[in-house]
Amino acid sequence: MKKMLLLLLITPVLIFAKTYMAKIEPFDTFNVYAQKAGQIVYLDKNDENKIINKKIVQIDDELDRITLKNYQEQLGLYEKEFKIKNSNYEKFKTIRGKSAFDKDDKLIEVINLKISISSLKNSIAELKDSIKKKSITIKNLYLKSYTVNKMDYVNIGTKIAELYDVSSSKIVVYVLKEDLKDIKKKKVFIDGKLSDAKVIKKDITVDPKYMTSYKVEIKSSIKEFGKVVNVEFR
């Protein structure tokens, strides 16, 4: 009796020879985190428990956009100034009688302005990146739940939402060693019926939880998430 109980504890997913019990799950799970700090100005709780193809979160970027506009205007003026000064320098350096010191002084003006333009371009690129990261858009993903609310202030790394890829499903089973061999070549039967499921991953090391079993992941088109099924490999 003790020996039978030990066997059940070691291999809880085995029902009888070659048949395993498993649960149908979404193919993948994603957690979305804030990449920039700020106050959430857009978030719609009605989007929860739906497949979404749109923006789900907007962090306040008004100041970033104002600063970006000012930087872009400033860049335009700098570039005009550079064009004039560079043209003047090209003419100045050909004038006879001008000392090398005077020519170098004009060149330094051009170089310093070029450095300022490069620095401003970097600042513009950083602002554009910040604006982009403050808007979170998803495509064809199931929005399970938000972990924040509209008007919350979030820091970098704050969890925003939990998402699922429900375009297909995943079934994880823990098989015995004798079933692991050539398992990717075997047909998958679910609840006794041949399915379109395919083995996509197999772990050749023993699972730390189920000590005599090996983890196998199956991709399936069945979308009855949460349903417990019997799986066979033939």
pLDDT at 48: 97
Contact status, residue 156 vs residue 34, Cβ threshold 8 Å = yes
How many angstroms separate the Cα of 172 from the Cα of each of 7, 31, 54, 222?
20, 20, 31, 13
pLDDT at 31: 96
pLDDT at 6: 40
C-alpha span between 126 and 120 (Å, rounded): 10
Tens digit of each residue's pLDDT, the chain (234 residues): 444 444 443 344 444 447 899 999 999 999 999 999 999 999 999 999 999 999 999 999 999 999 999 999 999 999 999 999 988 888 888 888 778 888 878 888 989 999 999 999 999 999 999 999 999 999 999 999 999 999 999 999 999 999 999 999 999 999 998 888 889 999 999 999 999 999 999 998 988 887 788 999 999 999 999 999 999 998
Q: What is the amino acid identity at position 227? A: K
C-alpha span between 152 and 39 (Å, rounded): 6
pLDDT at 16: 46
pLDDT at 2: 43
C-alpha span between 86 and 121 (Å, rounded): 19
C-alpha span between 175 and 207 (Å, rounded): 10
pLDDT at 209: 80
How many angstroms separate the Cα of 2 from the Cα of each of 10, 49, 103, 213?
12, 46, 97, 20
C-alpha span between 155 and 26 (Å, rounded): 29
